[in-house]
Amino acid sequence: MTRGGNIFAEVRPNGADEEITVLAARPGASVERIVSTGQASPPGFWCDQGWTEWVMVLAGEAGVLVEGEAAPRTLRPGDWLELPAHVRHRVDWTLADPPTVWLAVHWKGGGQAPG
């Protein structure tokens, strides 16, 4: 089956929660659109995934802090980051207006991909 769409379709400008939409999933890999409207990781929380994640900001801006780095990396449209399995990181901040739209690709790499 051939599927298609637009990555910016139905982006809500004022969502209370971050919105994650799986665009494609196959064994060991998935592609997601994430829409953030000011959300960030909870204080003290670090994401420690058992798979590799590659993210790109398509719209808006975000700050991602990688454990051991002095300051968050600011990601703007076109900026991407590859986070190998078990590299602890957190989303320090996201823009709410305009919404921050991410493209995230997850795959096996030192662990099991989601899904």
Residue whose pair of structure tokens reads 């064994």 in the numeric block = 27
Predicted confidence (pLDDT) per residue in 7-48, tens digit: 999 888 777 889 999 999 999 999 999 999 999 999 999 999
Q: What residues have CB less than 8 Å from 90, skipping those under 6 apart?
A: 40, 41, 45, 46, 47, 64, 65
Domains of the chain: 19-107 (2.60.120.10)
Virtual torsion, Cα 42, 69, 95, 11, nearest 10 deg: -80
CA-based nearest residue to 100, from 5, 13, 41: 13
With contact defined as beta carbons under 8 Å apart, do 104 and 11 qualify?
no
Written as one letter, the residue type at 33 is R
pTM higher than 0.85 for the full model? yes
Question: Residues 53-71: what's their mean pLDDT?
Answer: 97
Predicted confidence (pLDDT) per residue in 45-61, tens digit: 999 999 999 999 999 99
